[in-house]
Structure 1
Amino acid sequence: MKGIPHHIHNQDFVEDQSFDLDDWLPITASRNANWYYSAFHNVTAIVGAGVLGLPYAMSELGWGPGVVVLILSWVITLYTLWQMIEMHEMFEGQRFDRYHELGQAAFGKKLGLYIIVPLQLLVEISVCIVYMVTGGKSLKNVHDLAVGDDDSCTNMTIRHFILIFASSQFLLSLLKNFNSISGVSLVAAVMSVSYSTIAWVASLRKGAATGSVEYGYKKKTTSVPLDFLSALGEMAFAYAGHNVVLEIQATIPSTPENPSKRPMWKGAVVAYIIVAFCYFPVALVGFRTFGNNVQENILESLTKPKALVIVANMFVVIHLLGSYQVYAMPVFDMIESVMIKKWHFSPTRVLRYTIRWTFVAATMGIAVGLPYYSALLSFFGGFVFAPTTYFIPCIMWLILKKPKRFSLSWCINWFCIILGIVLMIIAPIGGLAKLIFHIRKGSLPNSKCKLPKH
């Protein structure tokens, strides 16, 4: 049968010792990456939909809390990323190629699965849903800016553009493993830096209109306190790379003389420098220019220079094409592994494509049903991103590394754990309130295809 190794027939691969499942699964099929693969995969994974919502989050937090949360998030997530890279092969001769494998080492074989797998799946699925929405919003922005007030487009809503964006993912999901999407990921990383730069440079060029920009708290959807809570989730959503960091590191070769953590950390540092270059100017300049009237997506607030804003939105679309796949690939890996190991399906192309197209169709359907950008960011950011990014790596570090009580490492980790738990509890409240508000109101964001007046 096509797609099955020549020595495998029907269900015989289960007993066939010559079949190595790791050589077939998307994460471990190839281990020939290096530090710059780490760099652009991490940039693609981290810099995504979240950066476009940072000025809006700043408008809900205000200058003081906004700057503090922005900087603290960058520092804490870099620290927890370093911890995960260090723990990838902390035991000699063993590599934790997937987040849940490290979780099993820390919490136990069953409990580790129960804790990590649902959270990781929720993160990766939620990112893919939000990227569907963002891709659709960006395509719609391009359309609105290019067509203007042409009445022929008034029946086109964001849902139509989400469907257009989703169609490309059915094709890209045919790429078989992580390294096979390296080219797509590299282009996506370049695009993320490009549109982030355009966003803050165009905002800086526009400048704050004298006397018309306000920076005080302003009720946007529910109430000021709930908006404040939802902004914390929006900030948390901006840092999602931890959920695929072990999977990225799994593609790098490792020897006792040159362990994978060295090139991985080098690439991660480069990635975080690029993240800072993208995040801080976009958040601060965007908020300074538009104040508390900034749109949920900063590019929606920009209409001039028209050609440049159109290009920026197209860069977002191109970036999300690759970034979606970076988050979808671990999901494909997990489902394909279960289907083969537990349910004894043959490792065929039919199985692979069926799983992947079903996943793309499911995320597309949810995005079409709930195309509410900032509400999704804040709810998912607090509920599932805070645990996997802010405090679960710290808990695993305390269990596996066992730092001395009240040592610097012990204190830092407990600080991150407490902060992350608080974030996980309070941020989804604001996001859920905002989502309920939008659903009850029954309105789509920017539902008509008309150019904003200026």
Structure 2
Amino acid sequence: MASDTQKNTMFIEQQDPETYHQNGDIRKNFLDDDGREKRTGTWVTASAHIITAVIGSGVLSLAWAIAQLGWVAGPAILMAFSFITYFTSTLLADCYRSPDPITGERNYTYMDVVRANLGGRKVQLCGLAQYGNLIGVTVGYTITASISMVAVKRSNCFHKHGHDVKCSTSNNPFMIIFACIQIVLSQIPNFHKLSWLSIMAAIMSFAYSSIGLGLSIAKAADGSHARTTLTGTTVGVDVTASEKVWRAFQAMGDMAFAYAFSTVLVEIQDTLKSSPPENKSMKRASAAGVLTTTVFYVMCGCIGYLAFGNNAPGNFLTGFGFYEPFWLIDLANVCIAIHLIGAYQVFCQPLFGFVEKWSHKRWPESNFINTEHGVNIPFLGLYYVNMFRLVWRTIYVIVTSVLAMIFPFFNDFVGLIGAASFWPLTVYFPVEMYIARTKMKKFSFTWVWMKILIWTCLIVSLLALAGSVQGLIQSLKTYKPFQTEQ
């Protein structure tokens, strides 16, 4: 009887395709071209995943980023990041199958794609960049979600006691609440089971972005004109000369972070059904996702800058540039928290899958790692619990939460993650794989301008990284642990 309530689904999922054809009952549930679980995703669900991954905490810092760069450079750099992200995402979409983008063998992860197209040490470098970025993003989302939860409490405090009251609150209890929720959701087995969560999170992202946009429009239209300039913050008035330079670099990092979804693009594409071809559906989803987010980003960034001017807060919904109507601000911050609950899962699932696949190959006979136990949950039916998944994912959530408590600096952390991940994952690997896959001739026109793109983006990323590190150092020097960052 005990054996009837156990099902080694992880073991089944990761065996060679031939294994599935030996068992008719299993084959009924694994009907895809490689014997794995049949994919049902469409460009709509992929767009939801992308929007969930992209419209996250990045949008909240764009008014501040535009303020550092001004009316000319700010929107121009934002649009440049948008175009580069879409262009390289189309290159990456064609690498999902290799050698042919339509009939070739599937590559299930970003590392698999790099292994198939580049190989060598670049596979390890890709893994280091991707999974390091995923850890950073989940830490950043823990910070942002806790700040939004705290903002609800502070908003009610300001409404009750007046805007001059400090209403200081520690983020830590709210990070613990967020972590508890993630421990439960982290038991969702894989990306294929996340569509409902991504769709809900995408709706939340539109909701709080629209609220922030509406409040910014109302503030800009109320007659009190904030000071804006073509070049952003003014040296000697708003900032010192060195602060101007460092903040401009950090603003570029914030914008890079705002478009960070290349780390999970391959995993999102792996949810798409094979007809129409995955690369065509993914390109359509990328176009829809990037276009939608760019429209929101330009409006939120530019109208937010118009509303707040050179004094724009680092997070325009939790920095309390708005105080009333307090219930609407509360609603926006609740939407942020709900969205980030889903976005956290979108970003950590590739890491979970990598560790669990590696562990299965390393210890194939371990019952702790490979055996799943059936548990009857009232009203939900039978659910399979894997002890390794339960323990390892719980530890991961706890570790990211502790890191968030140590470095609870929204703007600096966002810029740091964006700067560190943009060049290798969004630019370098997609372009290099396209060059290798097409056997492009050296020093041809296309080869030259693609190499120029790689080196230009590297310089921008290094400058943004330097600005974010400097900002993080300054924040650590002035950090007061029981005051929420504004």
TM-score normalized by structure 1? 0.89
Q: How does 1:280-319 map to 2 (within 5 A)?
A: 280-299=298-317, 300=319, 301-319=321-339
The alignment partner of 1:371 has SS state of coil
1:213 aligned to 2:221? no
Distance 1:205 1:445 in 2: 32
Percent identity of the aligned residues? 26
Q: What runs of 5+ residues in structure 1 fail to find an aligned partner?
A: none
**Contact 2:147–2:484 (CA under 8 A) maintained in structure 1:** no
What is the aligned partner in structure 1 of residue 390 from structure 2? 353
Distance 1:68 1:446 in 2: 35
SS in 1 for 2:404: helix
For residues 139-198 of structure 1, give each alpha carbon's deviation from its aligned partner in whole angstroms, at most 9, with x where no partner exists: 111111123356999573122222222221111111111121111110001111111111
- Cα distance in 1 for partners of 2:354, 2:467 equals 31
Matched, 1:181 2:194: yes
**Is the contact made by 2:61 and 2:254 (CA closer than 8 Å) also made in structure 1?**
yes
Q: Aligned runs of 1:363-402 on 2, under 5 Å? A: 363-402=400-439
The count of residues paired between Structure 1 and Structure 2 equals: 439
Q: 1:273 aligns with which of 291, 304, 325?
A: 291
Aligned residue for 1:125?
135
Q: Partner letter of residue 270 of structure 2?
A: A
Q: Which moved more, 1:143-152 or 1:194-203?
A: 143-152
Asked whether 1:106 is paired with 2:117, we answer yes
Residue matched to 2:105: 94
CA contact (8 A) 1:45 1:241 kept: yes
Q: Residue 169 of structure 2 contacts residue 482 of structure 2 at CA under 8 Å; is this kept in 1? A: no
CA offsets 1:213-268 (integer angstroms, 9 cap, x no match): 3443332897211111111111111111111111111111226xx32112222222
> For each residue in 1:366-406, what CA deviation from the matched residue of structure 2 results, as whole angstroms up to 9, or x when unmatched?
00110001111111211223321123211221122233455
| Cα separation, partners in 2 of 1:293 and 1:8, compared to 1, 3 Å | closer
Distance 1:93 1:327 in 2: 26
Question: Does residue 429 of the first structure (1) align with residue 440 of the second (2)?
Answer: no
Match of 2:154 in 1: 144
Amino acid at match of 2:339: H
Does the CA contact (< 8 Å) of 1:100 and 1:112 recur in 2?
no
Distance of aligned partners of 1:212 and 1:47 in 2 relative to their CA distance in 1, 3 Å threshold? closer
Aligned equivalents of 1:220, 1:321: Cα separation in 2: 38
**Shift in CA distance, 320/100, structure 1 to aligned 2, threshold 3 Å:** same
Report if aligned partners of 1:372, 1:444 keep a CA contact under 8 Å in 2.
Answer: no
Contact persistence 2:114–2:126 (CA under 8 A): yes
Question: 1:34 matched to which residue of 2?
Answer: 42
Q: For residues 121-146 of structure 1, what are the alpha-carbon distances to aligned partners after superposition, in whole Å with 9 as ceiling and x for unaligned?
A: 01111110110000001111111112
- Distance in 2 (alpha carbons) for counterparts of 1:403 and 1:144: 57
- Alpha-carbon distance in structure 2 between the residues aligned to 1:307 and 1:367: 27
Partner of 2:479: 442
**1:200 aligned to 210, 213, 217, which one?**
213
When the two chains are superposed, the root-mean-square deviation of aligned CA atoms in Å is 2.9
For structure 2, which runs of at least 5 residues remain unmatched after alignment? Answer: 22-28, 31-35, 372-385
Letter matched to residue 305 of structure 1: P
Q: What is the CA–CA distance in structure 2 between the aligned matches of 1:221 and 1:170, rounded to whole Å?
A: 45
- Structure 2 partner of 1:61: 69
**Greater C-alpha radius of gyration:** 2
SS at structure 1 position matched to 2:19: coil
Structure 2 CA distance, aligned partners of 1:8 and 1:211? 62
Moved more, 203-212 or 127-136: 203-212
Cα offset, 1:113, TM superposition:
2.5
Shift of the 296–30 alpha-carbon distance from structure 1 to 2, 3 Å rule, reads farther
**In structure 1, C-alpha distance between the alignment counterparts of 2:283 and 2:73, rounded to whole Å:** 30
In the alignment, is the contact (CA less than 8 A) between 2:220 and 2:307 conserved in 1?
yes
- Which residue, 224, 244, 247 being the options, matches 2:244? 224
TM-score normalised by the chain length of structure 2: 0.83
The answer to whether the 8 Å contact 1:105/1:112 transfers is no
Aligned match of 1:134 in 123, 127, 144? 144
CA 1:153–1:159: 2 relative to 1, 3 Å: farther
Cα deviation 1:289-340 (Å, max 9, x = unaligned)? 1012111111122222222111111111111011000001001001101111
Residues 220 and 252 of structure 1: is their aligned pair in 2 closer, same or farther, counting only changes over 3 Å?
farther
